[in-house]
Amino acid sequence: MADKIIFRDLEVRSVLGNDSWERKRAQPLLITVGIHTSISAAGRTDQVTESVHYGIACKRVTSFAESNHGLQSLEAFAAGVARACLGVTSRALAVYVFVRKPRALLHAEHAGVEIFRTRQEALGSWGAGGDDAGDETAAAERAAAAAAAGALGDEDRIVVKRLALSTIIGVNLWERHYKQVVELDLTLHAAKASAQDAVPRYRNFRTVVDAVTEMVEKTSYRTVEALATAVARTAIKQCRVPKITVRVEKPSALVFAACSAVEITRSAADFAGPAASGVLTPVQTRTPASPAAAGPARAAGSATGAAAMHAAYIALGTNVGDRLGNLHRALIRLNGDLPTSHVAETSFLYETAPMYYTDQPSFLNAACLVRTDLEPLALLDELKRIEAEMGRDFATVRNGPRVIDLDILFYDEMVVESERLTIPHALLHERRFQLGPLCDIDRDLMHHRLGKTSGALFRHLTTHSAVPDDIVRVTPLVARRHGSAPASDGSLLVALAPGTQRETLFMGILNCTPDSFSDGGCYDSPDKAVEQALRLLDDGATIIDVGGQSTRPGAAHVGADEEIRRVVPVIQRLRERGVQAPISVDTFCARVAAAALDAGADIVND
């Protein structure tokens, strides 16, 4: 077995990406290293030259840490420490590195990363003797050093130590009334990074900690076992961690012991199905969601199918012709025309000022998540085909007007750099019109080139850049042709963001029910309801909100058929009377919403 040369808790200061306040400042780090070698010769001769000089190794690591290395993550930094140690002498055969960041999290002792690298993995070869050296002793020493990696031979680990949270936990009466502190150790298991990776992978432990903290502090489990399982489920299902070890300590559990604790290790396979997750999975749908006022839409695939497919995040933009129609047609094509693919989620809809080439109309922008079996370049080819079939002119000025623009922003966690395609998108970090919609779907996507999440990039544009804040969330409203000309692009877009309004907008509430709290029975016939709606508009209402289900305390649920009978005729008659105002339907039933939209409603108020 290989011997080890060790130094523990070497304190250095290093600029490692941005700190918690988005500043590039030196941060304290503690480094522990175990260099695997053979000290047999040094043990016989008492000569340090026959071993790995730990003093030189410390100086090399300190010099690297305090250099202008430009690294963004603990993982990349640990790999640099490994190379510095292995570069001291060819006698260094492998190295274990544990880098801790004491000031990483407010409520945890530290966050850190553990890695193990052989000389061949980190530097590309075993050294002067070559990979195929015939010395049996040397070969045995190398084999022993590689075997010493244990589980770290196949993975890297991100560690969060002693995360202190308050929650209701326990079966005793007093434990059900008072929160108590639990301490969590989280170990995220990730596939070992390759030395050939041009761009290091970043695992955002803060996203996991935030999700776990929110979950733990809201729950009230009776057993530590259930709490530990819930923590693992949150990390895997919500944060896409492939494997995690969770240790939950309950310091107040035993009078004569420091704590009681439960430690578990779970992977994605443990929460693969609806039964394991405790959440019902919607059936797969081939109907695309539309970027509408109700917000981001979700259409999950089957538990097995979705897990096997790639996640491609696509940005959509248009500023020519029927802009809203262009986006809908593009979504329909993405959902129906791409082989073995479907649209899983869509963002809100935004109107944005043109960027780069500014002498052109405003854009409508959105984003969607596509589940696909297509590889990145094949997906790019399909997107270009859709653009061409929808009439995009590729000969026009770059960044000029276009019928439709489809960009791949992210594809799983892949980093691609080729003549035709760059993933993550090369200009995403400076484009508010792409980051805004993307954050509606997932704020925690990690940009591996920049070491920041999509949410952090969007926040940086807001607080640390000169990029104008010129995107406005809008509601798509169908153009009406009853007495007035339709909008030029076939749709009426009314911005509902408060910051864009010069005047207050009023919504007129129209209860078509016999039992509502304030006016039940007053407008329970279509004629009465229509006349009341017209009065509301005359009184200054901007939107008419039609509801057919009372939500007063104790109100009976009337069912979708009765709700449709109450609201659809009213909406139809309002449109027949030439009402141009937006109409919303107040319902939580999908069938009612669909029928109301078909009758002429614009907004689902759910």
28: which DSSP letter? E
Distance between CA atoms of residues 298 and 311, nearest Å:
14
Could you identify the residue written with the tokens 């935030």? Answer: 210
270 an active-site residue?
no
Identified catalytic residue from 266, 402, 566, 575: 402
Half-sphere exposure of 579 (CA within 13 A, CB side): 29
266 an active-site residue?
no
Distances in whole angstroms, Cα of residue 463 to Cα of each of 468, 497, 499: 11, 20, 17
Contact assessment for residue 531 and residue 539, using Cβ atoms and an 8 Å cutoff:
no
Contact assessment for residue 237 and residue 271, using Cβ atoms and an 8 Å cutoff:
yes
Nearest to 224 by CA among 246, 191, 203: 246
Backbone angles phi, psi at 25, to 5 degrees: -130, 150
Q: Is 133 helix (H, G, I), strand (E, B) or coil?
A: coil
Query: Cα-Cα-Cα-Cα dihedral of 404, 603, 579, 479, to 10°?
Result: 10
Contact assessment for residue 168 and residue 175, using Cβ atoms and an 8 Å cutoff:
yes
- Per-position b or e across 210-248, b if 16+ CB within 10 A of its CB: ebbbebbeeeebeebeebbbbbbbbbbbebbbebbbbbb
Identified catalytic residue from 91, 119, 333, 392: 392
Residue 472 gets the label, from left (phi > 0), alpha (psi -120 to 50) or beta, of beta
Burial of 306 (0-12, 13-18, 19+ CB in 10 A): middle
405 an active-site residue?
yes
197 an active-site residue?
no
Distance between CA atoms of residues 17 and 71, nearest Å:
6
Identified catalytic residue from 3, 185, 405, 442: 405
Identified catalytic residue from 3, 156, 185, 407: 407
Contact assessment for residue 30 and residue 81, using Cβ atoms and an 8 Å cutoff:
no
Which residues are annotated as catalytic? Answer: 392, 402, 405, 407
